[in-house]
């Protein structure tokens, strides 16, 4: 089998690797010629795909910007971005242009699958008409399905192979054909009856996380006021073996998915005269968190008789999650902006993010950062960073991730 993958980012490239490992030939397409050029010589831009992994897959992979190469594949998986535009509405531009390009080379017998996260109705209402401009009919001449990508970059306990794959085709035959493609790389395929169910299942998963993170974030702001240790509360509640699921507070929600995807549904729901209030409320609470973080840093400085203006503040972790260098929507960026607006002298340490050009900052060595700071704040707790050392050296510092909570507890109990 030959598979074409359109969009070689966090989703598309690992998918290409899985197919290649399974003995499937892959044509990987991207509009970014620089990415294609570096992949072709074995340089990966995705942490989850080390160069050594890429090297073993390369003999089965063709990376190119030439969409015409898709003519020879059996299935085409579209994995392009689905961001929000300036008005926080779905920006389907990349999906539509990728689909148009595919329509230009589509041939009878091919299976097309959209993997990009989107609102229910996208596959049927947007992809079908564009693909049918080829003169071929969806569900008759070619098969079409939606199958959401559920990978969590940086995660090793659940992989593409071990995470069940939802597949919803336009027809039963479409579901069956698309499922057969994924059976090469996934242990379990979960068929659903329509693309809309598959589209909404993915959004439900992300909305569930967003709402629960907001709930625990709100709780953390309350416990801060009440003088209760939120981590102890969460640890205690988590001992319940049923009916409770652990979520942890943090500096806000980052990444490409959680701050964005739920609003795809909000937008779609308006067409049905329906307000998705949980989504809006969760977005509002999570968006407040960087302000709450800055307030905690201000308090830490205040306790040391220092103003924010002119103080040297060391942030630990700039990316939005541990173990990856992804800066998209990272709350650290909002925190830096807020602190700078108050006149702070901000520096950061992040082994995964060498520089933040928009702020003119480069990651400092941990020892230098500690030596030269009035206070530190753990924003994202990357593995391998000695956070306890930071807390010992700068005891008034704040930890938004709870990694050093045992140290605070030990002090409190003395």
Min separation Cβ 93 and ligand NAD, Å: 8
Q: Which is nearer to ligand NAD, 96 or 219 (CB)?
A: 96
353 close to 345: Cβ distance less than 8 angstroms: no
Min separation Cβ 8 and ligand NAD, Å: 5
Calculate the alpha carbon distances from 18 to 24, 41, 51, 385 in Å.
9, 19, 14, 31
**Residues in a beta bridge with 144:** 112
The one catalytic residue in 61, 174, 186, 257 is 257
Please name which of 336, 397, 329, 344 lies closest in space to residue 363, comparing C-alpha atoms: 336
Min separation Cβ 295 and ligand NAD, Å: 30
Min separation Cβ 181 and ligand NAD, Å: 17
Q: Which is nearer to ligand NAD, 114 or 294 (CB)?
A: 114
Q: Which is nearer to ligand NAD, 31 or 287 (CB)?
A: 31
Residue nearest to ligand NAD (CB): 9
Contact footprint for ligand NAD (CB under 6 A): 6-12, 29-32, 35, 79-82, 94, 97-98, 116-117, 149, 151, 153, 256-257
Tell me, yes or no, if 257 is annotated catalytic.
Answer: yes
251 close to 335: Cβ distance less than 8 angstroms: yes
Q: Which is nearer to ligand NAD, 188 or 371 (CB)?
A: 188
Q: Where are the alpha helices (DSSP H) in 41-194?
A: 51-57, 93-105, 122, 128-132, 172-182
| Sequence-distant contacts of 44-51: CB under 8 A, at least 24 apart | 44/13, 45/13, 46/9, 46/10, 46/13, 46/14, 46/153, 47/153, 47/154, 47/323, 47/324, 47/325, 47/352, 48/10, 48/14, 48/151, 48/153, 48/154, 48/324, 49/13, 49/14, 49/17
Min separation Cβ 202 and ligand NAD, Å: 7
Q: Which is nearer to ligand NAD, 27 or 313 (CB)?
A: 27
Give the angle 132-134-136 at the CA atoms, nearest 5°. 60
Would you name the residues annotated as active-site residues? 257
């Amino acid at each position: 089998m030959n598979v074409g993958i359109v969009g070689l980012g966090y989703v598309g490239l690992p998918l290409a690797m899985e197919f290649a490992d399974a003995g499937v030939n892959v044509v990987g397409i991207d509009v970014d010629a620089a990415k294609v050029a570096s992949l072709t010589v074995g340089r990966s831009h995705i942490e989850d795909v080390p160069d050594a992994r890429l090297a073993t897959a390369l003999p089965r992979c063709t990376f190119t910007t030439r969409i015409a190469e898709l003519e020879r594949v059996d299935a085409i998986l579209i994995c392009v971005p689905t961001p929000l535009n300036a008005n926080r509405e779905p920006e389907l531009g990349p999906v539509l242009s990728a689909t148009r390009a595919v329509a230009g080379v589509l041939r009878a017998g091919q299976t097309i699958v959209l993997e990009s996260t989107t609102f229910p109705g996208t596959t049927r209402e947007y992809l079908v008409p564009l693909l049918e401009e080829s003169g071929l009919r969806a569900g008759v001449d070619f098969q079409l399905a939606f199958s959401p990508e559920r990978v969590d970059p940086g995660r090793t306990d659940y992989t593409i192979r071990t995470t069940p794959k939802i597949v919803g085709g336009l027809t039963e035959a479409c579901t069956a054909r698309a499922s057969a493609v994924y059976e090469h790389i996934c242990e379990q395929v979960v068929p659903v009856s329509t693309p809309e169910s598959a589209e909404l299942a993915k959004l439900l998963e992300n909305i569930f996380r967003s709402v629960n993170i907001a709930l625990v974030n709100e709780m953390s702001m309350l416990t801060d006021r009440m003088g209760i240790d939120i981590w102890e509360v969460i640890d205690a509640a988590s001992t319940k073996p049923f009916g409770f699921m652990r979520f942890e507070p943090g500096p806000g929600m980052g990444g490409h998915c959680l701050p964005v995807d739920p609003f795809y549904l909000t937008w779609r729901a308006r067409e049905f005269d329906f307000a998705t209030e949980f989504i809006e409320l969760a977005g509002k609470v999570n968006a407040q968190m960087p302000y709450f973080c800055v307030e905690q840093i201000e308090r830490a400085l205040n306790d040391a008789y220092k103003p924010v203006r002119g103080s040297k503040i060391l942030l630990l972790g700039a990316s939005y999650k541990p173990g990856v260098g992804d800066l998209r929507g990272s709350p650290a960026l909002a925190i830096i902006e807020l602190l700078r607006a108050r006149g702070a002298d901000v520096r950061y340490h992040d082994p995964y993010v060498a520089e933040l050009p928009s702020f003119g900052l480069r990651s400092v060595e941990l020892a230098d950062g500690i030596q030269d700071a009035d206070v530190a704040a753990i924003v994202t707790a990357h593995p391998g960073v000695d956070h306890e050392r930071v807390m010992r050296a700068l005891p008034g510092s704040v930890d938004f991730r709870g990694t050093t909570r045992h140290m605070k507890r030990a002090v409190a109990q003395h």
